[in-house]
Structure 1
Amino acid sequence: MKPVQKFYAQCSAGQMHGRRIEGNGSPIVLLHRTPVNSSGFELLMQFLARENYDVIALDTPGFGESFKPEGHPTAAQYGQWFLEALEDLRVDLFDLVAHHTGTHFACEMAAVAPERITSLTLSGILLGPAEERRKMRADIGDADPIDAKGEYLGKTYRLMDSLFLDPSPELVHLETLGALQSGPARDQAFDAIFNQDLETLLDDIMSDGRVRIQAVQAADDPLTLNGMLQRFRERYPAIPVHIIGPAFLATPERQPGAFGRAILNFCKDRNLMTENRRYTLKSRDGGYDLVRSDSDIPAPGPGEVLVKVHAVSLNRRDLGVRDLSYPVNGADDFLPLSDAAGEIVAIGSDVTDWAVGDRVASAFFQNHPGGRLTLPAVMSSLGAGGPGVFADFIILQAGGIVPITDGWSYAEAACLPCAGVTAWSALKTLGQLQEGDTVLILGTGGVALFALQIAVASGAKVIMLSSSEEKIATVKKMGAQECINYREVPDWTEAVRDLTKGAGVDHVVELGGAGTLSMSVGALGLNGHLALIGALDGFGGELDTLPLIFAALRVSAVMVGSRADHAALSEFMAEHDLKPVIDSEFEFSEAEKAYSAANNGAFGKIVIHMRERT
């Protein structure tokens, strides 16, 4: 680890403080958010320095050890002070990276000195009309004044804590220290950026055309969630936007690896990036095209591992992403797919639970170890606008992988993360499936077949619906005791009731959606459980609450499951000597054929091999 050196640089209004890791070439300059200072960039600095870059992080005037501004400085003045400090450091050309408050000052710098800035990375973009900005500024309020009893200390901590969806004490502590130290300077910086017309400034920069710009933003950044990033996309379609994993306000601290890789890829010569084969989804009218988009091999940051992928698998969700029936919030040029299996080839600096050579599969959610589902967990799902897995080498969180069962192939392990875990959550985690229960399963796709295997191995009686006599014959061999051809018996609710002697079933694995929902409810018996998963027949549908109440029915919307669910499923399948059902397998070059096979109603999973099969 390279040493971080502290320094002072002079500008026309006073001394500015910063941190630096010396390296080669023109530096990467980092501007921080409010109310922290340049110390929040230290993990990111170390990551960038591994590539031997010269990295400079400056304290905004009024923050850290930089001078305290007087009066009411404008965003343009802050930008000028940064440029003067860099001149004092004899920095002429540089790549500029800015986070939240820093984005506004960085744009001022790019507008007046485009010849000095080789690239501009923005994260946390506040783009809105004047009235909206005024309201946001009023909602934030001013810093609490110092009082004799020290009550402002507790108020400040509670305010900083409230700014995070999943606050960690250490991060809230640092935010609080920054807020206390900056005091009125926090209000000065906020006044400057909320009074700035960022849209006009960006228009000028884009019109000049000399500064390359990209946006890199956390999936759960407040300015992503409130629609401002989408507004930015629509206003500036030529600027690439990269969504990274959940970090809320603290992207440099919580996602230094993903943030750093996006910065490095933008700074490097793109023509040199040919080592990592990838497919990305690029937007077109009515959906997405699957496009080869090779890159360099990424490096893992703190808390991350680099996985050499051997196999991936497709899910119904992946088809929905391409045809726009599954929402991805306007994302473009992103890696698809969530299910991968491979071997670890490098680990981040603080990873201790895994080693190079470990065989692992991706967890669907990278930030959902277990327990109750949270928004940061939801935002960490793979392959739906943020990071995906369709590449030779991918970065995964150390807490977002599961060991592969001994004796399983990579292809088999790649089938579990979405479909398998969904079935497990539906029946075991949420449904509390018991021996002797009766389970109704709609269809014969990936989730349905996993549900069949889990139910049969648990000692349950299974009734399956299918329109294919061939598939019905196969699932009977797998243990389904009863099957109904829903084309021949469209009113299958009564048929299910007949098969259960009028009692109804204990569980329905509902994979149909709007067109089958009411019939699934009608098939449930007393205190039965409906696992609501699919939308093959369209999203929506209505539930009649009367039978739910008087029959004490339970309804669960299933959003895949946690890493703990994935691990439990792997253990269960090993214990019962079960293997995933694979419909067909393809090579990397046959990606479109694989998508077509999945779209044509596969019996089980579709797998794509990333390596030559032996």
Structure 2
Amino acid sequence: MAPTSMKQWVVQDTENGFDGLVYQDAPVPKVGENEVLVKLQAVSLNYRDLIIPKGMYPFAVRSPVVPGSDGAGEVVDVGSKVTEFQKGDQVATLFNQGHQYGDIDFQAAGTGLGGAIDGTLREYAVFDQQGLVKAPKNLNALENSTLSCAALTSWNALYGLKPLRPGQIVLVQGTGGVSIFALQFAKAAGATVIATTSSAAKADKLKKLGADHVLNYKIDANWGESARQLTPGGVGVDYVVEVGGTGTLQQSFKCIKFEGIISIIGFLGGVDPKGQPSVLDTLSHICTVRGVYVGSKALMKDMVRAIEANNIHPVVDEKVFRLDQTRDAYDYMWAQKHFGKLTVKID
């Protein structure tokens, strides 16, 4: 039996930065007939979680809201009409609760956990059965908590529009969660991976994870052309997982192959309309540039099967925080001290 009260974090406002995060008591929610009660065991943080309390998130946010989109845990109660799950199942959350299959639409884009809907930084949560997937059997709770956003976004970038094929070439930027997952998925598919980073230490870690080539963008400002020269015949890469925004997009265009795909995931390097390529660059480079907003439940189920079949294990930062230390986790991640996914363990 679940207790009647629990601990949770709430973003009270988006005007005071991380000081807007409040740790409080709350009642454990009750399940409706199509709902599932999950005892959350772990949460992983995303850049999105950091910029919501800072008022920098460009999409809809409810206030106050329980933060966190990515979570994993155990089903402890189910509603009378639930057919997909039963007590004891290990599950992971779907980022956009309303995105079940196919292309995302405007309505589904407004169902993001931890922004428009109460999220995962709490001990218990109720979800519609459509908003969960069964977690991979080969992963622990901390690993499962990393799949909702970064992993599914990477999977969508490589398989959502034109599926990646063995022998193709993927460029990933940096060592954040999305880029690391893209590296792992690409290598499991038999692709070649070119990675960019800012330090020799991170380059070594990327190589250990399977990166075939690593370029240091601090040393090589024209890394896009360097990446192109690493491809057979200098024709360019098939996929770019683009996380930098204005600061890296010009280089991404320099390395993309004809009919290649640049997936825009984030904007860590900022957004400056005066400094970024124009729409016409897609014509001169004959490529597709697409924004990726995580992915559907159908895509997530495909990804889970691939994780199990290839025994892929997410890269989790060695430092793990407790639920009551979540504010410290936000500071740690904002300072970019993490490698891979940063997690919060819920006892």
Q: TM-score, normalised by structure 1?
A: 0.54
Alignment of 1:421-432 (within 5 A): 421-432=152-163
How far residue 524 of structure 1 moved from its aligned partner, in angstroms, is: 0.6
Report SS of the residue matched to 2:6.
Answer: coil
1:505-520 equivalences under 5 Å are 505-520=237-252
> Partner residue of 1:523?
255
Asked whether the 8 Å contact 2:61–2:115 carries over to 1, the reply is no
Match of 2:269 among 508, 513, 537: 537
Q: 1:339 aligns with which of 53, 59, 70?
A: 70
Deviation at 1:397, TM superposition (A): 1.2
| Paired residues, number | 339
Which residue of structure 1 aligns with residue 339 of structure 2? 603
Superposed CA offset, 1:228-254 (max 9, x none)? xxxxxxxxxxxxxxxxxxxxxxxxxxx
CA contact under 8 A between 1:431 and 1:507: conserved in structure 2?
Answer: no
1:51-96, Cα deviation, whole Å (9 max, x unpaired): xxxxxxxxxxxxxxxxxxxxxxxxxxxxxxxxxxxxxxxxxxxxxx
CA shift digits 1:258-300 (9 cap, x unpaired): xxxxxxxxxxxxxxx9711101011163435211121111001
The structure whose Rg is larger is 1
CA displacement at 1:302 relative to structure 2: 2.7
Contact residue 14 and residue 53 of structure 2 kept, 8 A: no
Kept after mapping to 2: 8 A contact 1:274/1:294: no
CA change 1:378–1:284 in 2 (3 A) is closer
Q: Does 1:563 find its partner at 2:294?
A: no
SS in 1 for 2:13: strand
Structure-1 separation of matches of 2:217 and 2:66:
37
In structure 2, C-alpha distance between the alignment counterparts of 1:451 and 1:405, rounded to whole Å: 18
1:589 paired with 2:324, answer: yes
Instruction: Give the direction of change, closer, same or farther, for the CA distance of 1:274–1:358 in structure 2 (3 Å limit).
Output: closer
The answer (yes or no) to whether the contact 1:339–1:415 under 8 Å persists in 2 is yes
Q: Pick the aligned partner of 2:144 from 382, 394, 413.
A: 413
Aligned to 2:120: 389
Residues 409 and 379 (structure 1), Cα distance of their counterparts in 2 relative to 1, 3 Å cut? same
- The unaligned stretches of length 5 or more in structure 2 are none
Report the equivalent of 1:575: 309
Which structure's residues are more often helix, by fraction? Answer: 1
Q: Distance in 2 between matches of 1:350 and 1:422?
A: 30
Task: Work out whether 1:433 is the aligned partner of 2:164.
Answer: yes
Q: Which amino acid aligns with 2:289?
A: V
Q: Which amino acid aligns with 1:363?
A: L
Instruction: Look up the match of 2:17.
Output: 287
**Corresponding residue for 1:94?**
none
State the shift of 1:546 in Å.
4.1
SS in 2 for 1:322: coil
Q: Secondary structure at the match of 2:238?
A: strand
Shift of residue 344, structure 1, vs aligned partner? 1.1
User: 1:514: Cα distance to partner?
Assistant: 1.4
Match of 1:473 among 196, 204, 209: 204
Alpha carbons of 1:329 and 1:549: their partners in 2 closer, same or farther (altered >3 Å)?
A: closer
CA distance in 2, matches of 1:430, 1:575: 22
Shift of 1:447: 0.4
Between the aligned partners of 2:33 and 2:96, the Cα distance in structure 1 is: 18
Higher relative contact order (CA 8 A, sep 6+): 2
Q: Taking structure 2 as the reference length, what is the TM-score of the superposition? A: 0.93
CA distance in 2, matches of 1:331, 1:400: 18
Partner of 2:186: 455
CA–CA separation in structure 2 for the residues paired with 1:305 and 1:545: 44
Give matches, 1:96-135, under 5 Å.
none
Distance 2:242 2:113 in 1: 23
- What is the aligned-residue RMSD (CA, Å)? 1.7
Q: 2:175 matched to 1:444?
A: yes
Q: Report the residue type matching 2:205 in the other structure.
A: T
Q: Secondary structure at the match of 1:295?
A: strand
> 1:502 Cα shift?
2.3
The CA deviation at 1:550 is 4.4
Distance 1:357 1:476 in 2: 38
**1:276 matched to which residue of 2?**
6
1:432-464 per-residue CA deviation (whole Å, 9 max, x = no partner) reads 211111111111100000000001111111110
The residue number in structure 2 matching 1:67 is: none
The aligned residue for residue 219 of structure 1 is none
CA contact (8 A) 1:335 1:385 kept: no
